[in-house]
Amino acid sequence: MKYLGLIPFMGILIAEMISRADIKFSVKRKAFRWIIVLSLASFLVVMPLTGMEYSLMVFAVPILAWVGFAFIKYTKFCERCGASVKTNIPFIDETHCPRCNSSLD
């Protein structure tokens, strides 16, 4: 029970590892989205088990929804080389892949 709070963070770590893996972009994109959603859902299960009050869930649910939306919206995958591109970083070209310079959808 002591390390139960690490489970959601391990899910986010696995999602980042998948985004860096050398697999097809469509599989990478689907797996990334599902792992982010499942990881954030595990936050909702783990938080009350670790002693968080249920009244704080009113604030936690919208924040977790926003974080999941931001993870999924601002991570794009290049169709040509399969690289993951974070598009919320300032001073970066959001329309082209930095590795192969192809257009991002």
The pLDDT, as a whole number, for residue 62 is 93
Q: In whole angstroms, what is the distance from residue 4 CA to residue 49 CA? A: 8
This prediction's pTM: 0.78
Q: Which amino acid is at 38?
A: L
Please, which pLDDT band fits residue 69 given cuts at 50, 70 and 90? Answer: very high
pLDDT digits (tens, 9 = 90+) for 89-102: 878 777 888 888 88
The pLDDT, as a whole number, for residue 105 is 67
Domain ranges of the chain: 4-86
Q: In whole angstroms, what is the distance from residue 63 CA to residue 89 CA? A: 20
pLDDT digits (tens, 9 = 90+) for 10-36: 888 888 888 888 888 888 888 888 988
Q: In whole angstroms, what is the distance from residue 79 CA to residue 104 CA? A: 7
pLDDT surpassing 70 at residue 1: no
